[in-house]
Structure formats: C-alpha cells, structure tokens
Amino acid sequence: MRRKLAAGNWKMNGTGDTLAELAALLRAHPEPGCEVLICPPATLISRACAAVGAAPIRIGGQDCHMAEAGAHTGDISARMLADAGASHVIVGHSERRADHGESDAMVRAKAQAARGAGLVAVICVGESGAERDSGATLEVIGRQLFGSTPDGATGNSTVIAYEPVWAIGSGRTPTLAQIAEVHDFIRSELLGRFGAEGTQIRILYGGSVKPVNAAGIFATSNVDGALVGGASLTAADFGAIVNALENA
C-alpha cells in the first residue's frame, strides 16, 4: 500500500517568521494520517528541521546539484541537504527546467545524486500549454519520465510529480479525466520499466491544488497525493489539503 503524501513547495518564499506557519501546521496535525513534507528555501531547512523536531513532518530541499562537491558557486549538493536535515529533494521542477535550462539528463543526474545521499527524489514532469493543445501531452510526459528517472528507482527512493506547466499558479486546473489519463499513463510506464516496484512509486499531482479542489483530485485514479505551491505557505490552506488527503 502506497502511503499518501502531501508535499509543500514554498519556492522562493519565506524567512524565519514564516516558520510560524509550520508551527501552526504541527499543532493542527500532530499525528497526520498521511506523510507530510515541507520544502522551504534552503536558508530555512536547518531551522525548519529544528522546529519540527521528532514530529512526523518531513523537511526537504527544492533542488540540488548533481555533483557531491566542487567549484559550483551558489549551488547546494544533495549531501549538504541531508547534512542540514532534509529527507527529500525536488528535482526537475518546471521552473528549474524553464528558468535554468535543465534537461532530462540533468534531472536524472540530480535524482541519482539525491539517492546517493540518502534523499528521496521528487522528480517533476509536465507539459506546456502548447504541448497540451497540440495533443502531445503523453509523448512529452513519457519522454521526460524516461529521461529523468534513474535506473533502479524504487518506492523508497523516488516520487514522481505530474505538474501541468500551464496550470501552475494560473488558477487553471485540468479536468479530473485529464489528470487520471496522465497519472494512469505514468503508472503504466513505471510498471513497464520497473516491474512490481513500479506499483510502489508514488505519483503526486501538482498544479493549482487548493482546498476547494483537493478532495476531487485525491479521489482520482493513481493520484497518491499532491505537490502544492502557493497553498502550502499557510497552515490553514495546506492543513485543509492535508485533511482532504487523510480522508481520501
């Protein structure tokens, strides 16, 4: 049985004061009925881990470099994230792919580095609006999934997040049928490549997940949780999404 996962990506938002939202989330969900992950900016990872303590909420990074160390000014390695207390790291987010030109090969290398450091890699895939409109969604997802996911991926090392690029931050959400089509396709691809282990790899939906639409999304085929952006910044909104996932 795959354990449901609610993951919050704070992106480039948050200072020390923002950790009050994490504390409020902890008070509201001291023993969540699903796995909960918060990925704050790198500047907050150590403080977030200290704030969480032994509570069952995980802290992750938003990106890592594929190298373990070296002359890469401004970058952070997977080993450094683990040393700061992180348990997960997001790789291949559409904003990284678009803003920093990250290829599938780079994302795969980052996921491999994450696994080598003992982190769970949350690997993001997703199509643009033009690709959706041209009917190329599954072709794009299949290519990104194959190119970005390392060989030997397991349910313990890997999470896949489907994020339709055209829905992120736009307020637009695919229909439940469209979400199911992509998630079912991803599951089929994972089974074809990894066999029985493909049943253990969780698939999250990410793209304007909010309290008002979370329950419907979580009831959709092969949706094992969500990668949440803006709605994860407040305990009230993210807590409502966690509630929906607990009841899914």
Measured distance CA(148)–CA(132) in Å, rounded: 20
DSSP 3-state assignment of 132? helix
Is residue 6 a contact partner of residue 242, using CB atoms and an 8 Å limit?
Answer: yes
Question: Residue 57: CB partners within 8 Å, gap ≥ 6?
Answer: 22, 25, 26, 29, 32, 36, 37, 38
10 backbone φψ class: left, alpha, beta (φ>0; ψ -120 to 50): alpha
Measured distance CA(203)–CA(4) in Å, rounded: 9
Residue 20 backbone phi and psi in degrees, to 5: -60, -30
* Cβ neighbours around 172 below 10 Å, total: 12
Element (H, E) at 177: helix 176-194
DSSP at 233: S
From 127, 163, 183, 189, the catalytic residue: 163
- 163 as an active site residue: the answer is yes
- 35 as an active site residue: the answer is no
From 29, 65, 88, 93, the catalytic residue: 93
Measured distance CA(203)–CA(118) in Å, rounded: 20
For the annotated catalytic residues, the residue numbers are 93, 163
